[in-house]
A and B are shown apart, each in its own frame.
Chain A
Amino acid sequence: MRRRAIVFLLAAWMAGAAAKIILPLKPDSVRFAVIGDSGTGGAAQREVALEMEECRKSFPFDFVLMLGDNIYGHKTSKDYLRKFEEPYQGLLAAGVKFYASLGNHDDPNSTAYKPFNMDGKKYYSFKKGGVLFLALDSNYMDPAQLNWLKSELHGSNATWKICFFHHPLYSHGKMHGSDLDLRKLLEPIFQEQGVAVVFSGHEHVYERIKPQKGIYYFVVGNSGELRVHNLRHSPDTAAGFDTDRAFLLVEINGNSLYFQAISRTGETVDSGELAAPQHSGSTVAAR
């Protein structure tokens, strides 16, 4: 126990100063964080978690989206403790809710793990303000899930429809790259049903893709794992970061979505404002 406390203090010291929040903090906005490929249980994951805690002091976000690979390796109770409950204990104690999606390293039965808020489902949706969030299981995109997705999207008049899942439809990571088969099936649904933003992980880097067919794509796969210098240069990359761990803060207010990507050490590595899709093209103003 004492050893753990020392490790935490050391991690806090190493994590450095809190990032300067440049998000607008408008009243009644929907505020959340995004992490992906986080569940290593390593020091870097803990440092990212501490940085998130620090940021929350000036940007009080209510929940966190998890983009899969939430628990790497073995899945004993000790693993859940070391790879989730301990790193995020500060956020969990503060009442921050985590909404998980499944990665290829996750136990499909972790849907029953209450702190992941999946309610036993591999894919599910929830609403916050005028925002519809859909967690998908990109490991197993069968016709049943595709039909469910179409129906959920079709039945919603939310201003923002946001999907999050593990395997990216667009990525310029050298390790995996885009999942073309998944893209072929999901992208037409996203377009037709007005999905505005997609968050994915799997690739252990941060990348923001230039809007593709009017949809904003983010890859946040370096909140625990990291593949240094693994981003391939591409004209479709709007911003990238592959030299340290990172997470994303998001604020949505009316027709605007503000984002700030922050590194393990508190450096702002990307930020900007996106406009809600008008079904006739969207704009992005990156800072």
Chain B
Amino acid sequence: MILHVTSIGLLACSLYAQAPVNPGLAAVRQFEDRVAEYMSLRAKLKPESKPLKPTPSTEKILAHEHELAKRISAARADALRGEIFTPEVAVEFRRLIAITMHGPDAPAIRASLIRAEPVWLKALRVNHLYPHDVPLQSTPPSLLLHLPSLPRELQYRVVGNALVLLDVGADLIVDYLPHAIDPVP
């Protein structure tokens, strides 16, 4: 009996070892790991990265934002596009976005994108500030339902046809995925 159970156990282990890894799931895990690394780095910048207490001083708000951005961008001085949206992650994200953009919700999402005042920037640069005078296009909620969830400090934002990973507190472009979304007229 013991031998029988052990055999089944060994067989299961062997099958598990040979089971193909879902590349989509692996990519999402890789993305989540990279995001966690970023958040860990961000946390090391405390106490400056603590949420700002409400203040009537806009100078304080801007100073806090700039200080946080300065520290993060200095700590990631060599950051390149694709460090979080790695090639594997990019494939999976484009697949997830395509499912959403070509599924039954597609017309509503497209209309939402158009009506949200599409934004184009001359150049998107990792580790650079998102310009304050340029509006932030809203992200279609149906799209957010299909993408991996993010810590509240980060948001997915649409800029042109790119998906931008934005550090909201620092107003900093953490990474971006070009050609993620079909262009809207």
Q: Which residues of A contact B (CB under 8 A)?
A: 73-77, 80, 104-105, 107-110, 112-115, 118-120, 138-144, 146, 167, 176-185
Contacts and interface: CB of A to CB of B under 8 A. Distances in A.
A107 B109 CA distance: 24
Given A75-B62, A77-B59, A107-B171, A181 B140 contact: yes
A104 B141 contact: no
A110 B64 CA distance: 12
A108 B136 contact: yes
B135 A112 contact: no
Given A115-B56, A143-B145, A104 B137 contact: yes
Nearest to B114: A176
B82 interface: no
B58 A74 contact: no
B53 A109 contact: no
B171 A141 contact: no
Interface residues of B, number: 41
Interface of B: 51-59, 61-62, 64-65, 105, 107-109, 111-112, 115-117, 132-133, 135-142, 144-145, 149-150, 152, 155, 168-169, 171
B61 A113 contact: yes
Nearest to B145: A143
7 contacts: A112-B51, A142-B150, A144-B152, A179-B115, A180-B108, A184-B105, A185-B142
B112 A140 contact: no
A113 B52 CA distance: 10
B66 to A, nearest CB: 11
Contact of A143 (B62, B144, B155): B144
B54 A181 contact: no
Contacts of A142: 141, 144, 149-150, 155
Contacts of A77: 57-59, 62
